[in-house]
Amino acid sequence: MVMVNKKTFQEEYVVGVDAGTTSAKVIIFDLQGNIISEARSSYEVIRPHPGWSEQKAQWWWQAFCKATKQALRGVGKNAKKIKAIGITHQRVTIVPVDGNLQPLRNAILWDDMRMEKQVLQAQNKLEAKRIYQRTGYYPGTWSVYMTMWIRDQEPEIFQKIYKVLLVPDFLIYQLTGNLVTGAGSATMTGCLDIAHPNSWAADILSIFDLPAEIWVEKILPGGELAGYVHAPAAKETGLPENLPVITTAGDQPCGSLGAGVISAEQLGINGGTSCTIETYCPKLPLDPRCNYVIEISPLGGYVPEISIHSGGSALMNWFKDNFFFYEVNKNEQDIWESIYNLAEEALPGNLGLMLIPYFSGAHAPYWDLHARGVMFGFLLYHDKSHLVRAIMEGLAYECRRAKEMIEQGTGTPVREVRMYGGSARSSFWNQIFADILGVKVVTTKSVETTTLGAAICAAKGVDLFSTIQEAVSHMVQIDKQFFPIDENRLLYEKLYTQVYSQFYDRIQDLIRKSSLISLSHHLGR
């Protein structure tokens, strides 16, 4: 698929790439943040066992090459105006490689759940809070625990490992021949030294019985030169030889950057498949309650983040596939418009029907892989309109909970929210967010904020702008603003403080017992 913007070409372009979970997306931007040409190429997710999620690393490169060639066709001779390329990516995902930089097995993806025993091993060896203080990550489904799983379950592969690569490490090597990683990419391994993000937490790795040498030694900040496109890669991709390749960060920090989040008074919320809530802090904001993870920003500081694995797109697709009748051949946009129109039939507060969106476990404040989604408050009066509104309000309630935890940790009140991702396309949902969060909600003209964030890094990396902030001011354009409606805000305030914020604490132990009983029964344990 290739799309081309027919606007007059600007003088200089940059390329933003998002090597995501299911596709590689390549977008060529001008320096005003306008899309000149874009293309994507898809690949599969392999699920060999329940809870496992894998891919072949070669698919990333093949899809990147295909999408890049297609995007370049959209600019033709103007490809010479491209000055740099930046690659953002699905985070956490790893692929172990041998001394020839060839994959030793399938990559293990970010949503893989197989490493529970390794997480418990780590916690038995070292207090979880200590691990958090050194790495910015409470023990969980991060890259380092995936690597421990390979050590324990596939020792013959582990013995052959030369390096454990992240998605951008693999692609940058294919493009440039250089073996480098970015601090904003390496942070979600769960073993980066968060206070000194140009090095690994060697003491933590030693306690985990992992050699520090299996991680890429050269760690660069975002917006820095990783290398130049070499001749073989230029031939495979169509990119100009010697084009600068610039480091960026993971998809969510790039997404919030592409939405214009550059201060601690702003919060970025991505309502995509997973929902991430992030802000920016110039200094390390370790939280004594471990309520958020800490990423590295291309701005040079830190990105506190809370993630809801079952975000807007995941929950809406669950509703669409299970409860909403539609014609199979109906236009996708029309389907979603019908669903949003359905939600508008229900009143604010939803007559007490609430949803807690832990459909894929919970991160902060519970850090519980066995957490489950809850919907409560049913009456015979409730119908499908209330179900879909419960999803919208439930995700906004949980985002408010995350907002408050981030505010407590950073000591800075949030005054503005930047929405991006799937939910940002719905004005109705944006208004719900404004009413529940109680602050102004802003959307931007470009919905492709993740690739735009990578392009912003690329532009700064070759000095088209003097700072990342300057690049943001030129390349991010505001679209719409939503302000809380007083009557709705007061209603949601009562429902959130008196009900939602207390409910899961009261039932968590029962949910966990139910989950473990069911799991043990079906696994025959």
Per-residue model confidence (pLDDT) at position 8? 39
Hey, where are the domains in the chain? 2-248, 252-525
Provide the β-strand partners of residue 277. 269, 306
Closest Cα to residue 452, out of 28, 7, 1?
Answer: 28
> CATH assignment of 252-525?
3.30.420.40
Q: Contact at 8 Å (CB) between 355 and 394?
A: yes
Give every CB contact of residue 419 below 8 A, 6+ residues apart in sequence.
Answer: 259, 269, 271, 430, 433, 441, 442, 443
User: How does pLDDT run across 200-254, given as a tens digit for each residue?
Assistant: 999 999 999 999 999 999 999 999 999 999 999 999 999 999 999 999 999 999 9
| Residue 516 pLDDT | 86
Q: Which residues pair with 55 in a beta bridge?
A: 107
SS3 487: helix
Q: What is the pLDDT of residues 110-137, one digit of tens each?
A: 989 899 999 999 999 999 999 999 999 9
The number of angstroms, rounded, from the C-alpha of 279 to the middle of its chain's C-alpha atoms is 13
Q: DSSP for 20-63, please give it.
A: -SSEEEEEEEETTS-EEEEEEEE---B-SSTT--EE-HHHHHHH
The 10s digit of each residue's pLDDT in 345-389 is 999 999 999 999 999 888 888 888 789 999 999 999 999 999 999
Judge if 2-248 and 252-525 fold alike in CATH terms: yes
> pTM of the entire structure?
0.92
The residue among 5 and 48 whose pLDDT is bigger is: 48
Closest CA to 496 of 442, 441, 438, 440: 438
- Could you tell me which CATH number the domain at 2-248 has? 3.30.420.40
Give the span between the Cα atoms of 444 and 81, in whole angstroms. Answer: 25
pLDDT at residue number 6? 44
Judge contact between 390 and 238, C-beta under 8 A: no
Query: In the chain, how many H helices and how many E strands?
Result: 18, 22
